[in-house]
Structure 1
Amino acid sequence: HAVQEIYPEAKFGVGPAIDAGFYYDIDITTTLHDEDLKKIEDKMIELSKENKSFVREELSKESAISFFKEKGDQYKLELLSEMNEDDEVISIYNEGSFTDLCRGPHLPASGKIKNIKLLNISGSYWRGDEKNKQLQRIYGISFPKKKMLDDHLYMLEEAKKRDHRKLGRQLDLFSIHEEAGAGLIYWHPKGSRVRLEIEDYWRKAHIDSGYEILYSPHMGKSWLWETSGHLDFYKEGMFSEMDVDEQDYFIKPMNCPFHILMYKSHLRSYRELPMRWAELGTVYRYEKSGVLHGLLRVRGFTQDDAHIFCTHEQVEDEIVEVIRFAREMWKAFGFEKLDFYLSTKPEKAVGEDDLWIKATDSLRNA
């Protein structure tokens, strides 16, 4: 509402609540700067003092489309075009002169919103697609008490001092060279020494836990990725194919198919099982430029990857051992409190249902 008051031409994309507050993607002709955030923030406080009610209104899809078409809001119209009123209720919220498409729920009135801070602005492509228009994303947060907001802002300032990108430069650990390729990490001698220590620990821990160490190629023919299902389910996360001797090759986003090929390289006996194989495999995944972030979101990284080949009867025991081993590895790096979540069959999946059921039951039992 505050943005609309200051910039009447603004069009609004999506604005969800997130773990660290909220954001809203906005299409306006003005390029926003930090000083503009203060103006918007002041207007938000002004509107909060008016204490106007948030009024929910449920509409038919046809009525909602008519309403936002009259407003000329193409973003809401696109969202509405994908909604099915048979499956979900279409609702808008009104607060004074401001109306927005939203599932809700909301606070009863704007006066409940206190202690607001708009944190920063970033660019964001509509629907996360770089082929779409770039919008301006405003991040913010609100707390019921001023001390809670002050404590949070203090924590953010302290976190900035410990930002791994800043420390990486200060300690001469690593660098990223956009001119040579975004999302690719260059490890300097000091950083390489740290990495070497970690890798040496990793190898010893895996060997002590009964794993054999593997090395696999960095690329493979397209048939391999077709067979594995990567081209059907993960192609958008892979780099484009390259022509090698008139055949398509892909640089690897994962190590799994290579480990399977090694396993199939000759006949195996059940007496060899379980077989625990592990690799520090360097993989390459296409990440959109807007989400790249230091060492946390990159396009090339070395993955702690393992595959265990075992009988159905051995599955649960192996899962228990994997969890024990994972706890041990995390504990070595200072992570004491861990939460484990059950992974179940996704909507897009390969394999027979009964195998998925058995696998899920084994995870649950372990």
Structure 2
Amino acid sequence: MSTVPPADPPDNTGPSGESKPADSPLEIYRHSSAHLLAAAVTELFPEAQCGIGPPTEEGFFYDFLVPRPFTPEDLAAIEKRMAHIVKQDRPIEKKVIPKPEALELFRRKGQSLKCQLIEEKSGPQVQCYTMGEFIDFCLGPHLPSTGHIKAFKLKETPSQSYWKGKEGNPEMQRIYGYAFFTREELERHLRRLEEAKRRDHRKLGRELDLFSISDDTGAGLVLWHPKGAFIRKQAEDYWRDEHLKGGYDLVFTPHIAKLDLWKTSGHTEYYKASMYAPIDIEGVEYQLKPMNCPFHITIYKSRMHSYRELPLRFAELGT
């Protein structure tokens, strides 16, 4: 039997965290649009460090580490530069570079975040894509050239993100964009977004006096006004009626339970970051329920059951 250790499998994880290359034509198109955005930003803001830039369901985004937040004027200039790069029809070319050479290349460009991503790869070579002077560490694939990008639009304001999505890491500016194959598709999408703004529940809730949210109660904690409470009751009554028709039994369970229940169910292990901190009540730790299922299992365990009862369905509205 050979004692030679097996070779490490190739690292196919891309800089955006993708486990495989983009495959659908629209995904490739939008991924190339993200690179187009990064190229424009680094040309206008040479001090910007590039983070990650994947395609999304509507288009793309790219994260940047910059000395100051981007302004609406900055975004307008970036979009204009993107259009200029499209007009130039710059080739988008794949480059496979030895890892040490890639690290030196990105260090010279001041892209320390890219160096971090490259250093985390286990393989001896790094796959990159160029767009003129711009180069990005990426699995690809991409469009042949920037001239193939026909319709895109940046969102009016950037948002904040954390490097690698971890709180405590450097704060970055995330620029979102929309990208479609044709100008007509893009315009239709933008019209849908405008209509969605008009129908935004936050806007309607305020205008129709349905509910309010106060800093005194906390973000996302809704105060239902009489009109909104009436609508909510109608929705809940409909929900109950439909579940009863579907053979469900309605149950009610407490809003909190001993911490041990959530440890047993696995919620503490897997969802701790999304759960409220435990509450100490007379020396016993309790926790606000993140889900109903452990309570429903406890109800089931409270007595013996026969297979003749199956299927057994419990239904309950959340806290």
Sort the Cα spacing of 1:31 and 1:258 in 2 relative to 1 into closer, same or farther, 3 A. same
In the aligned structure 2, how far is the partner of 1:273 from the partner of 1:159? Answer: 43
Indicate which of 196, 206, 224 corresponds to 2:261.
224
The list of structure 1 runs, each at least 4 consecutive aligned residues, that deviate by more than 4 angstroms after superposition, is: none
Residue of structure 1 in register with 2:114 after alignment: 76
The verdict on how the C-alpha distance between 1:238 and 1:110 changes in structure 2, with shifts beyond 3 A counting, is same
> Matched residue of 2:318: which SS?
strand
- How is 1:230-309 mapped onto 2 (pairs within 5 angstroms)? 230-282=267-319
Tell me the equivalent position of 2:63: 25
Query: d(CA) in 1 for partners of 2:286 and 2:313?
Result: 28
State the aligned residue count: 280
Cα gap change, 1:141/1:248 in structure 2, threshold over 3 Å: closer, same or farther? same
Name 1:112's counterpart in structure 2. Answer: 148
Equivalent residue for 2:220?
183
Instruction: Compute the displacement of 1:258 (Å).
Output: 0.9
| Cα displacement string for residues 28-55 of structure 1 (whole angstroms, at most 9, x for unaligned residues) | 1132122221111111111122211111
Q: Distance in 1 between matches of 2:214 and 2:112?
A: 38
Matched, 1:5 2:51: no
- Higher relative contact order, structure no. (Cα contacts within 8 Å, ≥ 6 residues apart): 2
Q: CA deviation at 1:84?
A: 3.5
Contact 1:215 1:281 in 2 (8 A): no
Report the alpha carbon displacement of residue 193 of structure 1 after superposing the two structures with TM.
0.9
Partner-residue secondary structure (3-state), 2:205: helix
Map of 1:204 onto structure 2: 241
Query: Residue deviations 1:290-320, cap 9 Å, x none?
Result: xxxxxxxxxxxxxxxxxxxxxxxxxxxxxxx
Counterpart Cα distance in 2 of 1:81 and 1:266: 57
CA spacing shift, 1:182–1:128, aligned 2, 3 Å? farther
Q: In the alignment, residue 298 of structure 2 is paired with which amino acid? A: L
| Preserved contact between residue 55 and residue 94 of structure 1 (Cα < 8 Å) | yes
C-alpha distance in structure 2 between counterparts of 1:130 and 1:274, whole Å: 44
Match of residue 154 from structure 1? 191
Secondary structure at the residue paired with 1:84?
A: coil
SS at match of 1:32: coil
Given the two structures, how large is their TM-score scaled by the length of structure 2?
A: 0.81
Contact 1:12 1:26 survives alignment (8 Å): yes
151-160 vs 59-68, which moves further: 59-68
Distance 1:145 1:213, change over 3 A: closer
1:179, CA displacement in angstroms? 4.0
Partner of 1:91: 127
CA displacement at 1:178 relative to structure 2: 3.5
Instruction: Go from structure 1 to structure 2 and tell me whether the alpha carbon gap of 1:171 and 1:47 turns closer, same or farther (over 3 Å shift).
Output: same
Partners of 2:115 and 2:221 lie apart in 1 by 38
Partners of 1:175 and 1:188 within 8 A in 2: yes
Letter in 2 for 1:256: C
Cα offset for 1:116? 2.9
CA contact (8 A) 1:216 1:281 kept: no
Provide structure 1 residue ranges, at least 5 long, that are not aligned to the other structure: 283-366
Judged with a 3 Å threshold, the aligned counterparts in structure 2 of structure 1 residues 34 and 82 are, in CA distance, closer, same or farther, namely same
Is 1:173 matched with 2:210?
A: yes
Distance of 1:270 and 1:76 partners within structure 2: 58
Unaligned runs of 5+ residues in structure 2 are 1-38
1:37 aligned partner: 75
| Aligned equivalents of 2:184, 2:304: Cα separation in 1 | 66
Identity of aligned pairs, percent?
48
Pick which of 173-182 and 98-107 moved more: 173-182
SS of match in other structure, 2:302 = coil
- 2:84 — aligned with what? 46
Q: State how far apart, in whole Å, the 2-side matches of 1:68 and 1:169 are.
A: 50
**Residue deviations 1:228-286 (CA, integer Å, cap 9, x gap):** 1112222122112222222222111011111111111223333433322111121xxxx
1:59 alignment partner, one of 97, 105, 108 = 97
Would the alpha carbon gap of residues 258 and 35 (structure 1) be closer, same or farther in structure 2, given more than 3 Å must change? same
Give the residue type in structure 1 aligned to 2:183: K
Q: Give, in whole Å, the separation in 2 of the partners of 1:53 and 1:3.
A: 18
Other structure's SS at 2:123 match: coil
Measure, in 1, the Cα distance between the counterparts of 2:274 and 2:226. Answer: 31
Sort the Cα spacing of 1:102 and 1:178 in 2 relative to 1 into closer, same or farther, 3 A. farther
